[in-house]
Structure 1
Amino acid sequence: MPQRPDLSLYKTIVLDCDGVVLNSNQTKVDAYYNTAKRMGGTEAQAKAFVDYHIQLGSIPRNDKIRYYITEIIKQPLTPERFQAFMDTFTEILDETLMQCEVAPALMDLKKETANAKWMLLSGGDQAELRQIFPRRGLDTLFELGIYGGPTKKNEHLASMIADGTIQFPALFIGDSRFDHQASTGAGLDFIFVADWTDMPDWQAYCQTHGVTVCHQLELSPVTAFCAP
């Protein structure tokens, strides 16, 4: 049976945002769909945008929007068109991020890991996160800062390990394939949080790679994988 990790070991804890700190994965899915529709996309194009978003997981939105423009609607990637999509997505997402649920065990986890410093590391837009989290009263939980796109997670991790911001041993808590790959590639331990993930094949992936899986931030281990 999986054991609950010993959190007292860690000097640094890195948390993903969507699906971990906030129940916002479906919010993001809806934002991609509604952005495509508002910008004149067909139903099929909007669904293809959503599928690509889910496939890429925690990759920053900039890359997804570029792909949508060039590969799905097959339009020239002009600065004006790209910015119009970015602005529309931000407008749609802002209100819903202020309303979505915060992980119930977030404050308990903070108390339990009082000896570790926290960092938020998201695929979401960094400037947007740095506006949303203070408005929700959550920014002070993350002593090491709030980081996001357009810089990718593996790039953030590499730079913050190099400058000593991340101290080892370190733990990354995420809910996507890219979270696992980026964190373990950088030498961090990893826990997959399952209850709010939108990763379609997470059970098979976690079994194949021997990933520790927990329900939410209470970090109660999942003892058996069942079809969602």
Structure 2
Amino acid sequence: MNPGFWQAVLFDFDGVVLDSNPARTEGFRRLFSGYPESAVEALLRYHEENGGLSRYDKIAHFFKDILKRDIPPGELGRHAERFSSLVKQAVIDSPFIPGAAEYFGRRHPFPLYLVSGSDQDELREICGRLGIASSFAGIFGSPTPKTENVARILSSGGYPADRVVLIGDSRNDQEAARANRTRFIARASGRPAWLAADAPHIQDLSQLDQVLCDAAGRG
């Protein structure tokens, strides 16, 4: 690989670093267990089809678009906090995507960033407990939208967009890359209703070095 080509590499978290998408799905099921099953199933479909979207957006969608009701004052924050308490340990206990622990355990010729739809404070705590926080030049999450966080990284680092790549496993990840004109690599995590046909794919992070090398050659 030409070490000077890539100036920054950005990673989504759930489904790219950790195999934690199932933990998030179960968290939403438990969060809304007292509501009609059909409404909960509709939310879970929305959640699965909108990886990379924050819990705040998904909770708001549940009330406004599925239940067709306004969210009482303070309810969004309370639900988000309860969701965190339901999923945090389950996420920490989720296995690394193959190759991830090794990838983040070594030095690279470019800075690494984490850009997730997960709550930012929670994400930083989880990365600290997993022992990978120091691998990243920055860890960014919600409630700031992913597209804005990617733009912030580009601006603060002075990185040219075509020398930055985002690795993600959802349509929202790809849209954040596209909106900022960065490159994109799809991690095939099995999400339904999404296939980045126009982007390079990896099965896990053990393949990332080669795909980055190939993409740099096409740059």
Normalising by structure 1, we get a TM-score of 0.83
Query: Aligned to 2:69, what secondary structure does the other structure show?
Result: coil
Q: Does 1:219 align with 2:207?
A: yes
Whole-angstrom CA distance in 2 between matches of 1:53 and 1:103: 20
Aligned partner of 2:16 in structure 1 is 20
Q: Does 1:74 align with 2:103?
A: no
Structure 2: segments with no counterpart, 5+ residues: 212-219
1:125-136 to 2 correspondences below 5 Å: 125-136=119-130
C-alpha contact 2:52 2:172 (8 A) present in aligned 1: yes
**Amino acid in the other structure paired with 1:192:** A
Whole-angstrom CA distance in 2 between matches of 1:123 and 1:7: 31
Whole-angstrom CA distance in 1 between matches of 2:132 and 2:123: 10
Measured against aligned partners, the alpha-carbon deviations of 1:140-173 in whole angstroms (never above 9, x if no partner) come to 111x211011111111111222222646511111
Change in 2 beyond 3 A, CA 1:155/1:47:
same
Aligned partner of 1:35 in structure 2 is 31
C-alpha contact 1:176 1:197 (8 A) present in aligned 2: no
Q: Does 1:206 align with 2:196?
A: yes
Deviation at 1:52, TM superposition (A): 1.4
Deviation at 1:75, TM superposition (A): 3.2
Deviation at 1:189, TM superposition (A): 1.4
1:35-184 to 2 correspondences below 5 Å: 35-37=31-33, 40-110=34-104, 114-142=108-136, 144-164=137-157, 166=159, 169-184=163-178
Aligned partner of 2:215 in structure 1 is none
**Amino acid in the other structure paired with 2:49:** Q
Structure 1: segments with no counterpart, 5+ residues: 1-5, 223-228
**Amino acid in the other structure paired with 1:177:** R
Whole-angstrom CA distance in 1 between matches of 2:35 and 2:165: 40
Change in 2 beyond 3 A, CA 1:127/1:51:
same
C-alpha contact 1:34 1:46 (8 A) present in aligned 2: no
**Amino acid in the other structure paired with 2:207:** L
**Which is worse superposed, 77-86 or 213-222?**
213-222
Measured against aligned partners, the alpha-carbon deviations of 1:77-103 in whole angstroms (never above 9, x if no partner) come to 122322231122111111201100112
Measured against aligned partners, the alpha-carbon deviations of 1:103-134 in whole angstroms (never above 9, x if no partner) come to 23124434776101000000111111011110
**Amino acid in the other structure paired with 2:199:** V
Q: CA-atom RMSD, angstroms?
A: 2.1
Change in 2 beyond 3 A, CA 1:118/1:185:
same
Whole-angstrom CA distance in 2 between matches of 1:218 and 1:103: 9
